[in-house]
Amino acid sequence: MAAQINPSILSADFARLADEAKAVEGADYLHVDVMDNHFVPNLTLGVPVVESLARATDTPLDCHLMIEAPDRWAPRYVEAGASSVTFHVEAAAAPVRLAREIRAQGARASMALRPATPIEPYEDLLPELDMVLIMTVEPGFGGQAFLDIMLPKIRRTRELIGKHGLQMWLQVDGGVSAATIERCAEAGADVFVAGSAVYGAGDPAEAVRGLRAQAEAVTRTAAWACGH
């Protein structure tokens, strides 16, 4: 089955965002990390930058909201042009209502889990979502080392998706590189965010193609993907 690569512009040059978006035009989505300095100890960009970026690229935007009060802000990111909006379940007051609102606006709704947040309490919410994001680093910064201890959670999430017969995507974010992407795919991920592994490469577009080829070599034969 197909594997998707979403380059994270957190590792791009923020003064040249339009060019940096064009540098990865073969990517499936462009991953946009929104941080508010409250939910995570870092500050990046907000609605006006997403609006500009949406005008500057044909690649759909995958907005990862690492912010407090996503119930209030997530709909603004759909209006700004995001095709997919991910909120952190730890910050959402009413995740079901929020997911329904995002979908009603015409975007894909996605729920993210920090490394210490288990998937099991949210099993019944999965049908309300288009994607689950399992963080494989503590959110806040690019360039951190991949947390191997998240692999069992990726496996369990993939099992729950299969158990409910859902078509939703399973995204991983943090430390995904040529050295770790195969382990993620084997565990059940099919959407891969990569920041430093793409923008730190000499040729970002080539890095995207390389990562996709590595992931697809695994998902073609992975036990969890059979029947997809």
Residue 176, contacted partner among ligand DX5, Zn ion, none, CB below 5-8 A by kind? ligand DX5
Place of tokens 């990865």: 24
Which residues are bridge partners to 7 per DSSP?
194
- 103-129 core/surface letters (b: 16 or more CB in 10 A; e: else): beeebbbbbbbbeebebeebeeebebb
Catalytic one among 33, 62, 130, 190?
Answer: 33
Active site residue 33: yes
Residues within window 176-195 making contact with ligand DX5, judged by CB under 6 A: 176, 193-195
Looking only at the bridges linking them, the beta strands covering 4-7 and 191-194 are parallel
Tokens read off for 158: 């993939």
For position 70 contacting ligand DX5 by CB under 6 A, the verdict is: no
Q: Residue 20, interface with ligand DX5 (CB under 6 A)?
A: no
Q: Determine the residue type at 222.
A: A
Q: Are 211 and 5 in contact (CB under 8 A)?
A: yes
Burial label for 89, CB within 10 Å (0-12, 13-18, 19+), is buried
Decide if residue 88 touches Zn ion (CB under 5 A): no
Distance CA(110)–CA(41), nearest Å, equals: 22
Nearest-angstrom CA–CA distance, 62 and 10: 12
Among 62, 173, 186, 190, binds ligand DX5 (CB under 6 A): 173
Q: State the binding string over 159-198 for Zn ion (x if CB under 5 A, else -).
A: --------------x-------------------------
- Which residues 6+ apart lie within 8 Å of 139 measured at CB? 35, 39, 40, 66, 88, 112, 114, 173, 174
11 is in an annotated binding site: no
Residue 28 touching Zn ion (CB under 5 A): no
Non-local (6+) Cβ contacts of 27 within 8 A are 5, 6, 7, 59, 208
| Of 28-36, 42-50, 143-151, 209-217: span binding Zn ion (CB under 5 A) | 28-36
**Least CB distance to ligand DX5 at residue 24 (A):** 13
Candidate segments 45-53, 59-67, 92-100, 164-172, binder of Zn ion by CB under 5 A? 59-67
Of these residues, 28, 36, 62, 173, which one is catalytic? 173
With CB under 6 A as the contact rule, the residue among 31, 88, 158, 183 that binds ligand DX5 is 31
Q: Is 4 in the site for ligand DX5 (CB under 6 A)?
A: no
Q: How many of the chain's residues bind Zn ion (CB under 5 A)?
A: 3
For the annotated binding site for substrate, the residues are: 8, 64, 140-143, 173-175, 195-196
For the annotated binding site, the residues are: 8, 31, 33, 64, 140-143, 173-175, 195-196
For the annotated binding site for a divalent metal cation, the residues are: 31, 33, 64, 173
